[in-house]
Amino acid sequence: MATDLVSRQREERRERILEVARELIAEQGPAAVTMRDLAERGLVSVPTLYVLFGSKNELLFAAVESYFTDIVDKVEVGASERGLSRILSLIETLCRETPRHAEYARSMIDFLGTGSETGALAGLVVEQLADEITSALEQMKKKRQLASWADIRPLGERLAGQMNMTTFAWARHQITDEGLRPAMLYGASVTLLGLARGQASKILEALVKEHQALA
């Protein structure tokens, strides 16, 4: 019982620090945030941060991971809606939540594009997104919404990379808040259209026609 309480308190403290990390990243940018800043804002000691996370880079990894997990948790899909519906709902959620947390998202995206030392962190973002999309593609295959010969892992990685690049373009103001959704839906729909089957093909074709002008 006492062990459970200690574990819960530790997890709550960890989550509080990650929230503080997001706030500081939005205010200062990831590169400027120090462990001392995080300790002072999070009401913990610097040694405690190192015990919980190991290093600043590990803390940034955790902040990115938890942010993405929070977004995925917001994906609204009914129990019977899987496969393509899951991918489209993920896109809708990303396009809604990213501008809502614009300062944090832009600060982190700018940081990810600054050099090779951030490559592993950028890779984490794409890998997490690819895992989520690949799971949905597997469901599409089971429901015969996708060509039986399609290799879903590279397809999931391509879609994740494409969505990531669209978000980068938004971060650099090459795409407006209003243009983010049509650009991402168009890109994903065009990529999937040649492999989709049945009703999924019709849905994707309609999305391409709907968003091609704005995209």
Whole-number pLDDT of residue 84: 93
pLDDT tens for each residue of the chain, 215 residues long: 556 767 777 788 888 888 888 888 888 888 888 899 989 988 889 998 898 888 888 887 788 777 777 777 777 655 445 799 989 999 999 899 888 888 888 877 777 665 545 556 667 677 888 998 999 999 999 999 999 999 999 999 999 989 988 988 898 899 999 999 999 999 999 999 999 999 999 999 999 999 998 87
pLDDT at 72: 73
Say how many C-beta atoms besides its own lie within 10 A of residue 50's C-beta.
Answer: 15
Give the residue carrying structure tokens 């002008």. 213
CA distances from residue 185 to 115, 152, 164 in whole angstroms, order as listed: 29, 19, 13
Residue 183 pLDDT: 95
Helices and strands in the chain, H and E counts: 10, 0
Sort 30 into a burial class: Cβ within 10 Å, 0-12 / 13-18 / 19+.
buried
Quick one: tokens of 131? 């895992």
The pTM for the full model equals: 0.78
| pLDDT number for residue 129 | 86
Residue 146 three-state SS = strand
Which of left, alpha, beta for 34 (phi over 0: left; psi -120 to 50: alpha)? Answer: beta
Q: Nearest to residue 86, comparing CAs of 195, 190, 202, 188?
A: 188
- What is the tens place of the pLDDT at every residue in 101-129? 888 888 777 776 655 455 566 676 778 88
One-letter amino acid for residue 36 of the chain: R
Rg of the chain, C-alpha, whole Å: 19
Structure tokens at 120: 């592993």
The residues with which 146 forms a beta bridge, in sequence order, are 196
Q: How far apart (Å, rounded) are the C-alpha atoms in residues 160 and 215?
A: 17
| Token pair of 177 as six digits | 């808040």
